[in-house]
Amino acid sequence: MTARETAVAVAHPNIALIKYWGKRDERLVLPFTDSLSMTLDVFPTTTAVRLAPDAATDHVVMDGAPAEGEVLRRATTFLDLVREHAGRRERAVVDTRNTVPVGAGLASSAGGFAALALAAAHVYGLPGDAEQLSRLARRGSGSAARSVFGGFVVWHAGDPDAPYPDRASYAEPVADARLDAALVAVVLEEGPKPVSSREAMRRTVATSPLYRDWVTDSRADLARMYTALRDGDMTAAGTITERNALAMHAAMEAARPAVRYRTTATDAVLGHVRRLRAEGVGAWATMDAGPNVKVLCAPADAQRIADRMREVTDARVVVAHRGPGARLRQVTA
């Protein structure tokens, strides 16, 4: 790949049906388990990266304001990694625009780091295919590895005994997935989460008596999910998705001190999802590192579920379908 001065990339968030929760290597961002997600067609992040050969530091603008603190540190650490791989030294100007609430468990970092990885790889002239890009995005935020691809995506944890564990952990599209699914996002809160997913994972791995069982269960869930996706079996996919999310939250709630992202509003929405099922509507819930709920369903049921959620909550409700992988929008030589 030839180096360019500016690149603009767009990427979408993904929601895991089989969750990633816990790193076996913090520096390389290597997870304990494989995870599987659906990339969405809503909430894109657009990121422009421009080389700034005369600048002494990176300059990062997020949603119109200069980034500072942890956000700036993570972006700069990521750019350092790209520069190290590319053998380059120039600093960069990054301008990133989210359409997803940041830090609220709606996977803003997934779309964000997938877009940053793609744009930065272009401006610094890093060679590699999409699989390689997923390894790079992984280092910014684990779930970002999956947003490199569209549709249903699996992120392989990789064999811990592989000679190069970094190479063994990458994402790719799920082959032969025949499921047609939608996700109804029930956005209860848009603020940043009280505990970062990084810290929450660390605490769960170190102190939760349920973590080992979570790892074992999650492997079994993944095997069943592959079958459900290949068979286009919505009921099976939904049942596994909801169970997997509840198990992840149970594991973190058993940590010391407990990590609790679910609120009473979350539990109320979970109750409405169960009620819909009792009425014969195929609806299954999943939650990430935040109070918001995403409801997995067949596309034909999405509107009805969204209408119900608007009726019974004052949440912002957004219907999403399968979306595309990360794309370059504009490249200036």
Residue whose CB is less far from ligand PMV, 6 or 108 = 108
Q: Toward ligand PMV, which CB reaches closer, 198 or 304?
A: 198
Cα Rg of the chain, angstroms: 19
> Whose Cβ is closer to ligand PMV: residue 90's or residue 288's?
288
> In terms of CB distance, is 107 or 269 closer to ligand PMV?
107
Instruction: Find the shortest distance in angstroms from Cβ 143 to ligand PMV.
Output: 3
Q: Residue 300 Cβ, how far from ligand PMV at the closest point, in Å?
A: 26
Measured from the CB atom, the residue of 76 and 141 that comes closer to ligand PMV is 141
Give the nearest distance from C-beta 330 to ligand PMV in angstroms: 27
Q: How far is the CB of 40 from ligand PMV (least distance, A)?
A: 12
Select 94 or 110, whichever has its Cβ closest to ligand PMV.
110
Q: Min. distance of Cβ 199 from ligand PMV in angstroms?
A: 10
Q: How far is the CB of 36 from ligand PMV (least distance, A)?
A: 9
Three-state secondary structure along the chain? Answer: CCCCCEEEEEECCEEEEECCCCEEECCCCEECCCEEEEEECCCCEEEEEEEECCCCCCEEEECCEECCHHHHHHHHHHHHHHHHHHCCCCEEEEEEEECCCCCCCCCHHHHHHHHHHHHHHHHCCCCCCHHHHHHHHHHHCCCHHHHCCCCEEEECCCCCCCCCHHHHCCEEECCCCCCCCEEEEEECCCCCCCCCHHHHHHHHHHHCCCHHHHHHHHHHHHHHHHHHHHHCCHHHHHHHHHHHHHHHHHHHHCCCCCCCCCCHHHHHHHHHHHHHHHCCCCEEEEECCCCCEEEEECHHHHHHHHHHHHHHCCCEEEEEEECCCCEEEEEEC
Nearer to ligand PMV, 51 or 101 (CB): 101
Q: Are strands 65-66 and 59-62 parallel, antiparallel or unpaired?
A: antiparallel
Dihedral sign of CA atoms 138, 173, 331, 88 in order: positive
* Sites of contact with ligand PMV (CB under 6 A): 16, 19-20, 35, 107, 109-110, 141-143, 197-198, 288-289
d(CA 201, CA 150): 26
- Closer of 99 and 331 to ligand PMV (Cβ): 99
In the complex with ligand PMV, the residue whose CB is nearer, 111 or 282, is 111
Copy the structure tokens of residue 89.
Answer: 């030294």
CB of 110: closest distance to ligand PMV in angstroms?
6
What is the smallest separation between the CB atom of 33 and ligand PMV, expressed in angstroms?
A: 9
The distance of closest approach from Cβ of residue 325 to ligand PMV in the complex, given in angstroms and rounded to an integer, is 16
End-to-end CA distance of the chain: 12
